[in-house]
Chains A and B, each alone.
Chain A
């Protein structure tokens, strides 16, 4: 039986917890109280036979006294030691790992405190990493930052000209003063919107990230594709259990539902079938649905779940919303930013599909932005089965593909990511002012 130098400590802890006196336990185990005292202070090793008797006297499993009870504690301490070493041990001498059991044995409460601080530190580091990642990807924050930096650059350069140029002509002076006025207004507007957004972010979330974001982070890390599903050798619990991104129970539930959908889609539309269809028909969901007799929404989902590098698909995007317009699934295509909090742009074909159930919609769109990009979108909405007399639930799906080369000059629908960061100021669908200046 595995036996650590801390077996005595565990016996003592368990005995104390049970309210047994040392003398009583010693008697029941057939040893002297003095000998049990030595054992409990880890100064005598315990034979298997004696361990059996002590465990029996306390009514516990001998294994619980022998191994593993402090596994997490030791792991935590080793992590702390490794972290100290990684930091170069600038402040402290790197602890001696050989004496870790002695440390735990002599100072169990301090050891537990150190291990719990280490765990807390690791958790906080993960939070910081996640926030940093979010800041780097959030389209609203990126756009706001660009606005702020542009306004500040204008202000700084213009103010410096006014201060440093002694012989500046009156008309230039007037022009630059006007610039300072305009850029100040722009800066204050952007700052106000940014503060509002950060307030909203704080109140909208209770934890590190929403379950949906955790799911998306996990799928992103997997490249939005599961080879296990294609081969049929998949175990949903195993896949989910090993995923650190799926930190909450809600995220794991979403992942289970998503994987079940992917499996169903892959069964209906196996990889070989899809690849053959793509080779013969090109990235045309309508033609693929007609050939495979699969529902169009399923084809759209499947096209966004294939291995990377399929001809004509680029890095496809996929969004799914329910009847309220809430985005329930988001895979962003490069250049087609998806909002984190607000709903999407009301001009997205996704929402048009909601209003025209079961009618496929194909639309070329120009996504507004500093670098406007063109996409070809396919959307459809369909009722979700809820049984007789059930509520009418709709689900709309939109696949986002790069626009084909021959569509460069074709008319396209002007859309945005969401109103707040959209530069199309006179858009009929606008529901709130944009923080992006008209000049930008």
Chain B
């Protein structure tokens, strides 16, 4: 069975590298994108099982990407774990309103990233079939 795939959209290279390392060791296939502007095209192309989406991104904010994602008939049910490094309360509310599946505030414990990702993708279940 192929590994589950996650697309990590995060512009901080060291954070992206750490997350990639953690998830890869847990058996995830991880691809990384550092710019918000290319996000929608890349998601549609990769069709990952889940997305980890930073809120503050160059090019396009994570919230804008999330709103577009939820409005897209083919991608609207994709699980999204939102990351944010500021104003946790307000950001969390905005992310939830926009349709985030889960939210994690920076800085986070490595185990939490994996646990949230597993939780929103239904643990060890099979790959999501593209719509």
Residues of B within 8 A of A179 (CB): 14, 17-18
Could you tell me the distance between the alpha carbons of A320 and B58 in the complex, rounded to whole angstroms?
A: 29
Segment at the B interface, from A94-102, A112-120, A144-152, A275-283: A144-152
**B interface SS class:** loop
Assess whether A440 is in contact with B110, with CB atoms less than 8 Å apart: no
Whether the pair A154, B18 counts as a contact (CB closer than 8 A) is yes
Contact across chains for B14 and A160 when beta carbons are under 8 A apart: no
A-B contact count (CB 8 A): 73
Asked if B110 contacts A145 (CB within 8 A), the reply is no
The residues of A that contact B11 with a CB separation of less than 8 Å are 440
Chain B residues with Cβ below 8 Å from A149 are 85-86, 106-107
In the assembled complex, 20 residue pairs joining A and B whose CB atoms fall closer than 8 Å, in A order, are A145-B86, A146-B85, A149-B85, A152-B107, A153-B15, A153-B108, A154-B12, A155-B107, A156-B108, A157-B15, A157-B110, A158-B14, A158-B18, A160-B110, A161-B21, A161-B22, A175-B17, A371-B58, A371-B59, A371-B61
Contact A439 B12 (CB under 8 A): yes
Contact in complex: A142, B22 (CB < 8 Å):
no
**B131: Cβ under 8 A from any A Cβ:** no
Q: Specify which chain A residues have a CB less than 8 angstroms from the CB of B58 in the assembled complex.
A: 370-372
Q: A146-B85, A371-B36, A371-B60 are in contact. List 4 more A-B contacts (CB 8 A).
A: A154-B14, A154-B18, A158-B18, A161-B18
The minimal Cβ–Cβ distance linking A283 to chain B, given in whole angstroms, is 24
For chain B residues 94-112, which have a beta carbon within 8 Å of chain A?
Answer: 106-110
A370 and chain B: residue at smallest CB distance: B56
User: Are the CB atoms of A371 and B57 closer together than 8 Å?
Assistant: yes
B residues in contact with A158, CB < 8 Å = 14, 18
Q: State A145–B84 Cα separation when bound (angstroms).
A: 12
Interface residue B13 (Cβ < 8 Å from any Cβ of A): yes
Contact residues of A between 142 and 194, Cβ < 8 Å to B? 142, 145-146, 149-150, 152-158, 160-161, 164-165, 172, 175-176, 179, 182-183
B interface, CB within 8 angstroms of A: 11-15, 17-19, 21-22, 25, 36, 56-61, 85-87, 106-110
Shortest C-beta distance, A88 to chain B (Å), equals 23
Q: Which residues of A pack against B, CB within 8 Å?
A: 136, 142, 145-146, 149-150, 152-158, 160-161, 164-165, 172, 175-176, 179, 182-183, 370-372, 439-440
Q: CA separation between A166 and B57, bound complex, in Å? A: 33
Give the CA-CA distance A154 to B36 in the complex, in Å.
20
Contacts of B86 in A (CB 8 A): 142, 145-146, 149
Contact, CB under 8 Å: A150 / B22: no
CB distance from B57 to the nearest CB of A (A): 7
Q: Which residues of A contact B107 (CB under 8 A)?
A: 149, 152-153, 155-157
- For B109, list chain A residues within 8 Å (CB): 156, 160
Question: A172 touching B21 by the CB < 8 A rule?
Answer: yes
The residue in A136, A155, A156, A183 that gathers the most chain B C-beta atoms within 10 A of its C-beta is A156
Report A-chain residues with C-beta under 8 Å of the C-beta of B12.
150, 153-154, 439-440
Q: Chain B: which residue is nearest A145 at the CB level?
A: B86
The CA-CA distance from A183 to B107 in the complex, in Å, is 13
Closest chain A CB from B124 CB (angstroms): 22
